[in-house]
């Protein structure tokens, strides 16, 4: 018998639990640990941010669905992972032993790295459904007195797609309200050009997204480092390709949503051999940690280096198809190498090709649990 513990119950953790239960032996125990008792479909958060969806549309309770599959569920946050003891220390004081641990916590949102950034500062967020609900309430107030918008992603961000999506969603919603002409919109991004997406050249992503931005009268500033945010003003240093400062901007706004950089969660941050300096889990091509070989990781919390050096630091995205591929990679290499064919062992696909089909393959898990109305990711 093996005790298999999955830390996290998001887009990485939930399918990991289902896949592991299906592949594991009857006598093996699969346990999911999560600081929340509700799964929510993160890609729909931008829709929640303008009330095109509600929390109820994109969420469901975790425990009933896991219990149907004979998967144990512990509703508690993780205080610290102890790889030397094969143990997870929980916030409620309990300790959970494991033979194999799969870390799927998602990231910690690094709002603190830019003064004034985030829900506790002067900008809104769509990173979590709680943030998106608050953002939606502020959106209604903004639309009553429409003024300038600043939207985008700060330096070291690694998930640019939702920033573009939210900009386009706001544009559409403002048009429906017949007030788009009253709202100047500026897109601020650390990307070296529009459509970089943390991935470099992806077909004609630059041309397509630039055209979409022009069609919607959205101005942009690339190679942008956000130095601080004050009430009603974003301070931006625009850089040249050689990294030198090209121009300083002070952008006024009444409404702003800026995506933050990510870091590893506190439960693993600083553990030597397990994480990199930003707290992301170090893995090999089979999602396994090179030092602690009974620990695996999937999803946004894994360490993937930037695709290329950029004048202002950018990260590489880890979403959709990449997470789906990550989920299946650890299965044959955990506790089953002696009874599962070696040919089934999978490696992580290339970053660029993985991203291209992310929107398509993120849907199946959601369709298992929600009505057709809730399947759309926006």
Contact assessment for residue 286 and residue 345, using Cβ atoms and an 8 Å cutoff = yes
3-state secondary structure of 129: helix
126 forms beta bridges with none
The architecture in CATH of the region 3-50+58-107+264-374 reads: 3-Layer(bba) Sandwich (3.50)
Percent of the chain with pLDDT over 90: 80
pLDDT recorded at residue 368: 34
The H or E element that residue 364 is part of is helix 364-367
Kindly state the average pLDDT of the residues 236-254. 98
3-state secondary structure of 350: coil
E runs forming strands in 174-299: 185-189, 218-221, 224-230, 233-239, 245-252, 255-259, 262-263, 295-297
pLDDT recorded at residue 324: 58
Helix/strand number for the chain, H first, E second: 10, 19
Contact assessment for residue 30 and residue 21, using Cβ atoms and an 8 Å cutoff = yes
CATH, domain range 111-259? 3.50.50.60
Alpha-carbon span 257 to 50, nearest angstrom = 12
Kindly state the average pLDDT of the residues 42-47. 96
pLDDT recorded at residue 285: 87
pLDDT at 203 over 50: yes
**CATH 3.50.50.60, the chain: domain bounds:** 111-259
Tell me the pLDDT tens digit for each residue of 95-136.
Answer: 999 999 999 999 999 999 999 999 999 999 999 999 999 999
Q: Enter the pTM of the model.
A: 0.87
pLDDT at 28 over 60: yes
Tell me the pLDDT tens digit for each residue of 288-302.
Answer: 999 999 999 999 999
E runs forming strands in the chain: 3-7, 29-34, 38-40, 59-61, 72-75, 78-82, 87-90, 95-97, 100-103, 108-109, 149-153, 185-189, 218-221, 224-230, 233-239, 245-252, 255-259, 262-263, 295-297
Confidence of residue 345 (pLDDT cuts 50, 70, 90): very low
**What single string gives the DSSP state of each residue in 56-78?**
GGGEEEHHHHHHHTT-EEEE--E
Tell me the pLDDT tens digit for each residue of 310-334.
Answer: 999 999 887 554 555 666 666 555 5
Task: List all residues 6 or more positions away from 264 whose beta carbon is below 8 Å from its beta carbon.
Answer: 107, 108, 275, 276, 278, 279, 280, 281, 301
pLDDT recorded at residue 326: 63
Cα–Cα–Cα angle for 184, 186, 192, rounded to 5 degrees:
160
Cα 146 to Cα 152, 181, 182: the distances in Å are: 18, 9, 6
Contact assessment for residue 322 and residue 104, using Cβ atoms and an 8 Å cutoff = no
């Amino acid at each position: 018998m093996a005790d298999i513990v999955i830390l996290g119950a998001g887009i990485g953790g939930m399918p990991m639990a289902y896949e592991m239960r299906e592949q594991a032996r009857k006598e093996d125990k699969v346990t999911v640990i999560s600081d929340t008792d509700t799964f929510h479909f993160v890609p729909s958060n931008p829709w929640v941010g303008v009330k095109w969806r509600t929390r109820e549309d994109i969420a469901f309770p975790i425990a009933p669905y896991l219990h149907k599959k004979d998967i144990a569920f512990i509703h508690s946050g993780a205080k610290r992972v102890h790889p030397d003891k094969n143990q997870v220390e929980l916030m409620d004081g309990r300790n959970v032993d494991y033979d194999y641990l799969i870390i799927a916590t998602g990231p910690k949102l690094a709002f603190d790295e830019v003064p004034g950034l985030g829900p506790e500062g002067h900008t809104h967020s769509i990173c979590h459904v709680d943030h998106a609900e608050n953002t939606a309430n502020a959106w209604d107030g903004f639309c009553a007195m429409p003024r300038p918008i600043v939207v985008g992603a700060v330096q070291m961000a690694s998930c640019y797609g939702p920033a573009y999506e939210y900009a386009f969603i706001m544009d559409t919603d403002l048009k429906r309200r017949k007030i788009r002409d009253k709202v100047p919109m500026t897109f601020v991004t650390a990307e070296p050009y529009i459509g970089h997406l943390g991935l470099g050249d992806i077909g004609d992503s630059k041309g397509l997204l630039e055209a979409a931005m022009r069609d919607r009268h959205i101005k942009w500033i690339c190679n942008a480092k956000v130095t601080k945010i004050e009430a009603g003003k974003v301070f931006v240093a625009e850089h040249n390709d050689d990294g030198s400062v090209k121009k300083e901007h002070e952008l006024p706004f009444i409404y702003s949503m800026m995506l933050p950089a990510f870091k590893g969660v506190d439960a693993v941050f600083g553990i030597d051999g397990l994480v990199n300096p930003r707290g992301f889990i170090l893995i090999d091509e089979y999602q396994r940690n090179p030092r602690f070989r009974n620990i695996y990781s999937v999803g946004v919390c894994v360490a993937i280096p930037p695709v290329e050096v950029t004048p202002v630091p950018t990260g590489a995205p880890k979403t959709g198809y990449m997470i789906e591929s990550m989920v299946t990679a650890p299965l044959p290499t955990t506790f089953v190498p002696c009874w599962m064919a070696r040919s089934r062992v999978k490696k992580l696909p290339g970053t660029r090709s993985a991203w291209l089909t992310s929107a398509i393959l993120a849907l199946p898990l959601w369709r298992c649990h929600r009505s057709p109305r809730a399947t759309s990711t926006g």
